[in-house]
Chain A
Amino acid sequence: MFDLEMTEDQKLIHETVTSFAAAEIRPLSRDCDESGEIPAGLAGKGFDLGLIHSAIPEEQGGFGEQRSAITGAIVAEALGWGDLSIAMHLLAPRLVVYPLLDAGTPEQRTTLLPAFASGYLAATAAVVEPRFDFDTTRFATTAAAKDGGFVLNGAKCFVPLAQEAETILVLAQLGDERAGFLVPRGAAGVTIGEREKNMGIKALATYEVGLENVVVPATARVGDDAAVERLLNHSRIALGALALGMGRAAYEYARDYAKERKAFGVAIAQKQAIAFILAEMAIETDAARLLLWEAAWMLDQGKDATRECVLAKRYASNACLKITDNAVQVLGGHGYVRDHPVELWLRNARGFTSFEGMAIV
């Protein structure tokens, strides 16, 4: 029966992550963006909330909780509200952990998961490719069966934390199907490029990753084409929810500013030209959340949800871009200077149409 009430567990998680974002993330957002660094120790604090290991089975050292895309969307929204780069950094280990939980072999899980359950361990997935016609339905990066294993070739970009991650989950095309491959960072033929210089997400270290005749054993393969589709869909929910959280941050900031800022003797929020922009922001954040929750609910039900996930992510990304742009507009000149956070959010927001597979619920 139709219901929008969170469970008691979800409310608790929501409250915990929201307080963490307000106390530990948002205050660092500007400095991290300027310095390009996230303070050592923050990832550990995030880990302690259970962001990574709550879904890892007890036998591998986790809490063994049911993984839920809806709960994931709630968490991602709260973290995205704090700061997008930091949120992606804290969630990065999921890029290997969650695909293993979904489609990993028992051996892969036993070997790899315990390390992720015992503390923050950087990991990453290489999904996006540096080409304008990047297509998640057919990767240009290839895998070919050879001598009982696979040979990988291609180029990836927007790979978070590639320099420090021991394991990279590479999504590649294996003939007509897609699959994931666990590639050690140090494997022969893997080159980690210079740290990328992006318009936004400047605090998140991302890299180009080159793969030239990289040989991996048969046991490196994670999942089949359907598993890749699930991974991409869970990623769409995560990215959409991060966009939503950041959009909500921009909306709240613009709303509060507009109530303070006076012009012509009244608060600018008392002018319809501004008030209607704020009303639209409020409606669009709620609309995006409902679409994301619905798509996440379908994933949790095990339904085919590519359409819903694609539409929800598109909607949330577009809403976020419009909201952050309007937030800069509401602040006017103050929105354009780096004393206020809205310009940072606008730069971050533009990326969502290019981001795929960089976070996962």
Chain B
Amino acid sequence: MIDFELSPNIQSSRQMIHMVAEQLMRPISREYDEREHEKPTEFLETMWKLSAGTSFGSDREADKKAAASGPKEGNLASCVSIEELSWGDAGLYLSIPNPGLGGAAVLAAGTAEQKQRFLAPFKDGAPKWGAMAITEPHCGSDSAALLTTAVRDGDDWVLNGTKIYCTSGLMATEKSDGFVVVWATVDKSAGRAGIKSFVVPAHTPGMKVIKVENKLGIRASDTAMMVFEDCRIPLDNILGSAEVKAGTEGFKGAMATFDATRPLVAASALGIGRAALDFAREALERAGVTIRYGAAPSTLTAVERDFMEIESELQAARLLTWRAAWMMDRGKRNNLEASMAKAKAGLAVTRVTQKAVEFLGPLGYSRKLLLEKWMRDAKINDIFEGTQQINMLIVARRILGYSSKELS
């Protein structure tokens, strides 16, 4: 039955996480934007204690089983939590110790043994991070063009190549006992079919972070450039089959990770957008401007019109995001819907935050307030985890029934 009410469990965890966002994140938000590359150690320790053991992403097999045993809402719950944390601070949210996107890849494509081996350490001990390394200096959206190689040598895979824009890459590989999931080709002549993902544990010899990026926003989160030089990992650290099959099935499997993570990234965008929208609404109200929803169109001011527009853009993005998560919870394929949500949310949050800066005029542009920061933070959502354009391309292929060859 069509129902827009979140379950009592989700509502109560949302309230709790909102308090964390308000009391632990907002007070240090500006500080760690200005002190890029420094870590809020106390906050990270606290979050590790609060959230150890919670995973990020979706275990496809578990979802299917759960769907058979009754309605589940783990993915939706993650979306709601991530929106709250990102309402607090998106950069700090991304820097929270957890398996991250690497964990999502393990959940989506790993065996039961791999899930246990790589994810169990996240249940206790010192804080740990997981990361995912796909992008290379010469290719981003065109991930099938990557050059990093994985060559089998006896009982090892040997990785060679350079990866960039790896979120939490430094924390995952050098500052904790985490891991990074690295995409590499086992057979360049096979094209997409040769691309596989590998789990590289922290401190593995031959892996080194050589640069941490300076960025427009989400400065509290480290974004690493790393090189792999004869980096050896055990054979069973490959996610999925090592076999190179004709066609693109293997690559599609790897891309399926994104069906799980795109709604979560969209949810983070929603949090930043809501922060800006809430702030703008309150500021306008203090200045005597209230939004009159039912008023005659001819009497609406430009601010009222703009506000209504961004408010509904954000809500539309939220519902598309919740739908994609809900489908995953029900064990339904959500490739199309996940890309719809991500494309919409990335664009919506970009517009919402830019408009909110405009509403506040010179105050909005000042670093005394967080609005300008939210605008800078927001933009990454239109880029990472598939740019807006890549997600539009995926939507277009799906609605038209085209392969990537037919529509490139």
Contacts and interface: CB of A to CB of B under 8 A. Distances in A.
Interface in A1-56: 1-7, 10
Nearest to B1: A7
Contacts of B21: none
Given A5-B2, A278-B399, A297-B3, A287 B73 contact: no
Contacts of A259: 400
Given A3-B1, A297-B4, A137 B316 contact: no
Given A1-B73, A291-B315, A311-B312, A6 B2 contact: yes
Given A1-B73, A2-B6, A287 B402 contact: no
Choose among B73, B315, B316, B322 the residue with the greatest number of A CB atoms under 10 Å from its CB.
B316
Nearest to A266: B406
B400 A255 contact: yes
A294 B311 CA distance: 14
A287 B3 CA distance: 16
A132 interface: yes
Interface stretch (B103-111, B189-197, B389-397): B389-397
A65 to B, nearest CB: 15
Contacts of B299: 133, 135
Interface stretch (A196-204, A269-277, A327-335): A269-277
A290 B392 CA distance: 19
Interface in B243-297: 293-297
A310 B319 CA distance: 17
Given A290-B316, A311-B315, A136 B294 contact: yes
Chain A interface SS verdict (over half): helix
B294 A315 contact: no
Interface string B68-90: 00010100100000000000000
A121 B389 CA distance: 51
Contact of B402 (A2, A134, A137, A269): A269
Contacts of B392: 276, 279-280
B293 A276 contact: no
Interface string B345-382: 00000000000000000000000000000000000000
B41 interface: no
Contacts of A137: 294-296
Chain B interface SS verdict (over half): helix
A194 interface: no
Contacts of A294: 4, 315, 319
A279 B3 contact: no
Given A280-B392, A282-B395, A283-B320, A2 B326 contact: yes
Interface in B292-338: 293-299, 308-309, 311-312, 315-317, 319-320, 322-323, 326, 337
A278 B396 contact: yes
Given A2-B3, A2-B76, A5-B1, A270 B296 contact: no
B326 A4 contact: yes
A191 interface: no
A5 B332 CA distance: 12
Contact of A286 (B1, B312, B340, B402): B340
A137 B406 CA distance: 52
B316 A315 contact: yes
A286 B6 CA distance: 20
Contact of B344 (A134, A258, A287, A310): A287
B7 A297 contact: no
Interface of A: 1-7, 10, 70, 132-137, 229, 232, 255, 258-259, 269-270, 272, 275-276, 278-280, 282-283, 286-288, 290-291, 293-294, 297-298, 306-307, 310-312, 314-315, 353
26 contacts: A1-B5, A2-B6, A2-B7, A2-B10, A2-B73, A3-B1, A3-B71, A7-B1, A7-B2, A132-B298, A134-B296, A135-B298, A137-B295, A229-B294, A269-B396, A270-B407, A275-B397, A276-B389, A278-B396, A286-B323, A290-B316, A290-B320, A291-B316, A310-B308, A311-B312, A353-B297
Given A133-B298, A276-B396, A310-B293, 4 more contacts: A1-B7, A269-B402, A275-B396, A282-B399
